[in-house]
Each structure stands twice: as structure tokens, then as C-alpha cells.
Structure 1
Amino acid sequence: MPVLASKSEEYAAPAAVQADSRILGAIKASQMQKALTNDPKPLLPKEKLVFGHTFSDHMVLIPWTAKNGWGKPQLKPYGPLQLDPSCSVFHYAFECFEGLKAYRDSQGNIRLFRPDKNMERMNNSAERLYLPQFDGKEMIECIKELLRVDKRWVPEGKGYSLYLRPTMIATENTLGVHRANSALLYVIASPCGPYFPTGFKAIGLYCDESNVRAWPGGVGNKKLGANYAPSVGPQVTAEKKGYQQVLWTIGEDRELMEVGTMNLFVYWRNENGELELVTPPLDGTILPGVTRDSILDLTRSWGEFKISERKINMKQVAKASDEGRLLEVFGAGTACVVTPVRRIHFQGKDYDVPLDPANPDSQAGPVTKRIYDTLFGIQYGDVPSEWSIVVD
């Protein structure tokens, strides 16, 4: 398989941002100050890991102020943050975050998957909140140092990884909605197994017609904490009805948006008789997922079917299902990589999604499974790719 190179460019803040105080005192990984724990925590058996419940020994913290810019990175034992009750992050949701993983390959090396894309997206999220910009390359070096110190926390075995959560919060201890004058960028790490307890199994979706995840002119394309809390209620409702995830839509025709916290893909034979893989376009309402971008680049390199980033609605999907043209549906994201869909509930009816007619026991269609296996192979170093970065 050919080496896949990222199409993304190194993030550069807009000129208007480059000139302001938010980028004073750039982050320098070489200036990191370390204070390692004297009481390392015991490792939990990997079979008992639950996503986001266990955390490694250390974390990275980098303070920022409008007056002095970025301070020196600190690597210190994992523990509580000391914040004033009036901090604007608590009152006005000045917070953005990222999610990426570190993997242990068969030779014991620790690998990252396209971390430059996560840094690019985090800078875009921070810019929307008028939080400070940072040098993505330097931040990746800070993350690598955390991984070197906490490398024992990266589990062995396929399907296991160390989830990394860079987060930026406004820390100014005054009330009032205005640009932040102080902030904190930090990174914590959590060893994990499969995101869904059931593993790589097809799920059911409930099409929510009462709520929307994002809207034109909003912040659906940013990874802000404020986008996630409002999704909990609809998710609980879907689960009570027997479905694992919410299918987010918008408009009278129920235009498809995302599935749970994942990007959505539909593989079908369109009305022109073409085999086509479709995902909603990045129109400002859709999060620009790293896995989404990787799937588009990967499948385009195959050259075997049409790849489209365009609007598609649930009425079209329902019609395709009735006519036997709906072939596969799946969600994609960092936590799960790829999650196949087996049914979609829409306006009182369940629409079944074929899995693999040639294999009744399969949990995914052939295209979904091929995408999953290829990305999985890249992440664990089995498939050569420039997307996989070894932490030396």
C-alpha cells in the first residue's frame, strides 16, 4: 500500500491574530520543568479498563497570561487543579479540548496518529473563543515528553491505547463575558480499550427530529465543551428506546449531520447508479474529524468508487433503503475509529442497514471493515504511513 501523506498544512493563525497578545511568549518544549511522582500508581489490567476512568501518573500544564504570554511547560504528577470559583470557564464555558491516542506497536514503539491535525483543530477552536494560539509542533513535543515519562501506561495489544486529552480553559477570576486575560493549557492521559463496551459491533441509531447538535453560523465545527453537554439528554432518550446513538439531523428534510459524537458516512448506490461514499460537507456545522479526513484521503487513494462531501438527508437514505440501494452506514472518530450501523429509526420505522451478505456473522460491511482494518493497521504501525509518528 502506498505511503499516505497528510494534505493538511501546519496551522498558521490569521494575520489579525498573529499580531495580538494571545501569542506572546511562545510555548517551548525545551523549557519544560519536570517534577515526577514519588508514588507511581499501579496499572489496572487492560481487560478492566473503561474509557476515560483511569489516568496516568503525570500531566502537562502550561499557563498563559495576556501580559506575559505562555509560561514554561510543567510536567508534574496528575492531580486536582486549583481554580478560583469565579473562573470564567465555570460560568461562560470558555473551554476547548482535543482527543488523540498513543499506540504501542508490535516492536514496543509508542506511536501517534496525525497529531498535527489535532493541534490545528485545537488552535481553530481556541481562536473562536478568543483564547491564546500556540505552536502546534512545540505542543506535540510536550505531549511526546509526557509519553516518554508515562510510557508504561500505553497498553499492549491491538484495540488498546493511551487516550490523550489536551484541554484549554480560561482561568481569569472575574465575572463578566469578555476576552480572557489568563488561561491554562493542559494534557492528561487515560489508558483505554474499545470505546464501546461491546467492541467492534454494529449499532442502532435513533433519528432525533426534536433537537439539533449544531446550526449554521454556530460552533459545530469547533471542539468546544459547550457542544457536548446538551447532547446528553437526547442520547439518554435514544438509549431508552433501544438505540445506542443519536443520529443528528437538521431541517424539514432531516439533513444528516453527525452520529453521536462521530462523523457520519453513507455508502450506497446513488440514484444515478453509481457506487458512492458520502459524508456531510464541512459547512460550519460539522466537526472536521481527523478520522473523517483520513477516511476521505484513504478511499480516494483506492479510486474504486465515488467519494463525495455533500449534503444528504434522511429521506434520501430511507428511499435508498426501500429500493435496496443502501449498502453501508458507519460513524468515525478518534475514540472508536469506525463504528458500523445496522439500523436507523426514522419517523416510526426501522430501516435496516446491510452488513456483509457473504458473512452472516460479520458486524460490518466489506467497505467499512476494510477502512477500519487499514486505519487500525496504520495506527499500530503494521501499515506504513506518514500519518503514524513514532515517539523516539
Structure 2
Amino acid sequence: LAAPHHLNPKPDVNNLPFGKYFTDHMLKVPYHRRLGGWQKPEITPMENLNLHPAAKVFHYAIELFEGMKAYRGYDGKIRLFRPEMNMARMNVTAYRSGLPTFEGEELIKAMARLVMIDSEWVPHTESASLYIRPTLIGIEPTLGVASSDSALLYTILSPVGPYFKPGAKGLKLYAEPKYTRAWPGGVGDRKVGSNYGPTIHVQQEALRHGCHQVLWLYGDDHQLTEVGVMNIFMLYMKENG
């Protein structure tokens, strides 16, 4: 674990932009097919990854991630919110991406241990939380479109506040039918990085139009699918209530 003199100062919980600050430790679990699969999990000080330039994650986007949170309750206890659902989706995404699946309950235990080690990073307030980002990447150093015989599952933690500034009275959404984020048979319901890269240009276009986010449409009838960072729900007011 990180030595006391290597621990980072805690940020102001009233000023926590998304994904800027990170805790002192991370979880790493390597996978090597030639060694029999998953290797021993390890919690280490937060550090950079050392990957070969030919690692498949760089060339063919063989990777996935999840986003979940830990909250500090009114009683001071730290709780994860529905982690088993994140693990289920992560395994489904891994299967679709040709990456190794894993025991969700075991990863939850390992991540809970990581959160406990960095428990002082869980904000002591209801307006902020600790964001948990488990990530699985293909690291086999070979070119060629194929599954990766080696992978790395790692988890990093980041204290975060609200995604949008408190007090926002509403968000302006940008809807442009010529852009589509997800379609039948695709991976719009999976958390793979390749879903997000092509949306950056459209998000920039939305900002130029004075909007906060993109409202993604699909089909000739412009069906509403989702907003860039959230779901969207409609409330219909009828004459009869």
C-alpha cells in the first residue's frame, strides 16, 4: 500500500468536478490464458499502466468499463449501490467483446476492500460520493483483429459531486436526426469505449448551439433513445389527467 508520505491531499467536497481527482490505491487483476486464466488480485498504490504499443486495446477498442458509486450514509456507513447489476452488465459486455468473464461476487468483494482502504476518500456529505470505475482491457501485444489472450481488469476510484452544477433549473438538449448512437444488433446497451468516442464531436456541436447534452434519436420516425450521460423519461399530461 501507499506509504503515508505518498498519500494525496483530499479535495474540497464542495468542488468536485467529475473524474478529476483519484484516490491513493487501485485494484488490478491480470488474466493470461496460457497461465490458466485469472491471476491473483492485487491492491497497489495508484500508478500508471505499462502497456506494449501493440496492445489490442489501443488498436481495436477491445475494452469495457462500468460506472458505480459508494455512498456514506447518515449513519456513517459506506454502501455500494446495486453492484451486482453492474457486474452482470460487465460480464455480458465482456462476452460480447471477446474478453474473459469473471465471478461478479468476487470482484465486488475485492472492490469493497479497495473502498475500505481508501474509505477517507468517500465524502462525508450527501451531495457527493465515491465513483468506482472497474475497467477490463485486452492487453495482448499483437496486431490482428482477434480476441486477446491477455487482459487486465483494474478498478480506480474518484470522489465526485453532482454531474451538473447544483441549482440547475433545466438542461437544453440538442437533437440532430443525422446522428445515431445506437441501433438494433449493435452494442448501445453495453459500456464499451467505442460507444463514446464517436459522440464527442456531436457533443461539441451541441455546446456550440448552447445546449448541455445530446438527445439521441433513432430511425426515420426519430425515436427518442437516451441523452448523452443519462436516461430520459417523458411525462404526458392528458386532458383527463
TM range (shorter): over 0.9
Gaps of at least 5 residues in structure 1 are 1-34, 276-392
Q: 2:74 corresponds to which letter in structure 1?
A: S
Q: Is 1:63 aligned with 2:56?
A: no
Q: What's the CA shift string for 1:61-80, capped at 9, x where partnerless?
A: 00001122100000000010
Q: Which has the higher contact order (CA 8 A, sep 6+)?
A: 2
Query: Cα distance, 1:213 vs. partner?
Result: 0.5
Q: Is the 8 A contact 1:36 1:75 kept in 2?
A: no
Of residues 139, 148, 152, the one that matches 1:171 is: 139
Of residues 96, 107, 118, the one that matches 1:128 is: 96
1:1-392, aligned counterparts within 5 Å?
Answer: 35-38=1-4, 39-67=6-34, 68-269=36-237
Task: Tell me which stretches of 4 or more aligned residues in structure 1 moved more than 4 Å.
Answer: none
Structure number with larger C-alpha Rg = 1
Distance in 2, Cα, partners of 1:121 & 1:199? 32
Gaps of at least 5 residues in structure 2 are none
Q: What's the CA shift string for 1:108-134, capped at 9, x where partnerless?
A: 110111000000000011110110011
Distance in 2, Cα, partners of 1:209 & 1:111? 41
Query: May I ask how many residue pairs the two structures share in their alignment?
Result: 239
Q: Is the 8 A contact 1:37 1:57 kept in 2?
A: no
Q: TM-score, normalised by structure 1?
A: 0.59
Distance in 1, Cα, partners of 2:142 & 2:131? 33
Distance in 1, Cα, partners of 2:159 & 2:52? 30
Closer, same or farther: CA 61–181 of 1 in aligned 2, 3 Å: same
Q: 1:49 corresponds to which letter in structure 2?
A: L
Q: Is the 8 A contact 1:37 1:76 kept in 2?
A: no
Closer, same or farther: CA 66–40 of 1 in aligned 2, 3 Å: same
Query: Cα distance, 1:138 vs. partner?
Result: 0.5
Closer, same or farther: CA 199–58 of 1 in aligned 2, 3 Å: farther
Tell me, what secondary structure is at the counterpart of 1:142? Answer: helix
| Aligned-residue CA RMSD (Å) | 1.4
Q: 1:140 corresponds to which letter in structure 2?
A: I
Distance in 1, Cα, partners of 2:172 & 2:17? 21
Residue identity (%): 47
**Bigger mean CA offset, 166-175 vs 249-258:** 249-258
Query: Cα distance, 1:37 vs. partner?
Result: 3.7
Q: TM-score, normalised by structure 2?
A: 0.95
1:387 is matched with none
Q: What's the CA shift string for 1:239-274, capped at 9, x where partnerless?
A: 11111111100112101111113222111136xx67
